[in-house]
Structure 1
Amino acid sequence: MTVADISHIPIIDFSLFKTDPEQCGKLILDAAQNVGFFYLRNFGFTRDEVEEMFSLSKNFFDTPKEEKSNYAIDKANIGYSSVRQEAVDPKNYGKGDYKESFHITKFKNNKPAQPLPPVFDTEKDKVNKFVTGCHTIVTQIMECLAIALEIPESEGGRTWFSSRHAYDDPSNDVLRFLHYPALDHPNEVDDIRIGRHSDYGSLTLLFQNGVGGLQIQANRDAPDEESIKWLDAPVVDDCLTVNLGDCLEWWTCNVLRSTKHRVIFTPATQMKPRYSMAYFCQGGQAKLEPVPSRFIPQSQSKLLRTNEDGSPLTAAQHLEIRLNATYSSY
């Protein structure tokens, strides 16, 4: 069955979650099924709160590389990743992605669970508030999906997804600060800020800051690289960009979409630095088993990834596999 090309990314007013969660769920489910991306307006943070995090991000990336390298990313996917260290599309961009990042994991008892650079440590209460706020948003989105999928109360109802992503449960959730440096000359070679990929976890919240370049793959049935069509996902003022990851696609036996995307250089942006922030909700030890919904074809459970013994893969195991293929070194 051929899936229709994506023609647009819907904008959803998330204030509906409080006033009409059923309708909010229908809108989010429709976007999740047909696009895999959507914008949220009225998502819970003020513009000032978001801008404050972007300011901290810029201050960190402005520090010398030697200092940033003191917090080098580790096997737990926490810390600093330098320019070109990550290659999410090694087949096409083997030299790596033209960006750097810093990952902050969830706080424990309101305290950092990792050594933080001074820029973040001096504002750790604000960082903690932002991380917990992001997790609240993904929890609400997951409740909307569970409501729309009509998961029976006997199976967990509206908390089926969110209970598998509880804040205090061990998981690999991270807030990722991203810096895509400006080029110092016009780009005359085939290069990219981050290559084509799908996200590894359940849900991603993406905060964009003025400079665009994000594109999503419009035709998932493209037979080869040359046939891929791209749709711009521009920065929309006062909106949060949300996309689904692999785990939600697998839990729903491909009913929901984990859409591939990339960030490119454009003539208008290649000489400008780009900053973004992404909160990755990644599921931890949750097993990738079919969602108990009448809309999910249980007969398609063969699509799920399993271990060699046939047991369901966990979200953490999938993440480990993807990360091992992504990083050139730690």
Structure 2
Amino acid sequence: MAPAHEIAHIGNVELLTPEPEKSLWFFTEVMGMTEVGTEGDSVYLRTWDDYERHTLKLTAHRTSGIRRVALRVSSAEALDRRVKAIEEAGLGIGWRDGDPGIGPTYAFRDPDGHELELYWESEWYEAPPELAPSLKNQAQAYPARGVCVRRLDHVNFLAAEVEGSSEFARDVLGGHVTEQIRLDSGTIAARWLTFTNKSYDLVYTRDLTGGHGRLHHIAFATDTREDILRAADICLDKGVFIETGPHKHAIQQTFFLYVYEPGGNRIEFCNPVARLVLAPDWRTITWTEAERAKGQAWGLKTIESFHTHGTPPVDPS
């Protein structure tokens, strides 16, 4: 039996950028995130409603992409159990010191090569006086800058083969597949998994290049749909490349806007908060190739780059 709720949520991600200054400008001035510290070539940033110290570690690098995704577990005992399961699967890397504000972490890879880590010990954020909220049940005052993303919502990985990695996330980490796309050939082209009552936390999408360990996008949740419309205006005024949207996905019903941050990574602004998976016996929704070919629930047709762009870029040689 798969473990139940031993992964509490996605804690933070480390994103790589070849344009560190421009990417930092994007995440602070366009997205409205708050800088909380630096270390070497990395800057730590947070969304205003995150209870932990940081949400994003932005690291200068020769290319774009995602270095790793950190998952917080539900207890110290859950951490031990998941580490044992990962080691039995033969995909463990080992223990390491966590980033500032995080205790020991256990690093591992999924079958496609994406690096993840698990942790339990975490420092809860204490806002300085100038960022102190009026409501004690809020970690930080609303920044009123840029889009003001509220929280990290999900990560969409590209994978050469979706089934192996999504089954690892299901059977070893305890994710539940809420929706999926099955092609006429029987191949699974994408799977959406949740560790919580959110409709999805982690997504695996087939990488048409055959590459491994690449990123499709990182998604941040806004308070409302109107915030996403405002995000489109902000990105237009700031010269941020808008790839597609605002539209509504048929799968998961997410209202969305996709943009590229200056380092080349795809970022999604999303408003999925109306959908929760409350049924303990939720039945996976399977979309056919013909149904998927219809595109979005409404809005413009899915553009080609949505199926081809990923980071880091694939070397054409």
TM-score, structure 1 normalization: 0.25
More strand by share: 2
Tell me which protein shows more helix as a share of its residues. 1
Relative CO higher for 1 or 2, CA cutoff 8 Å, sep ≥ 6? 1
**Could you tell me the TM-score, scaled by structure 2's length?**
0.26
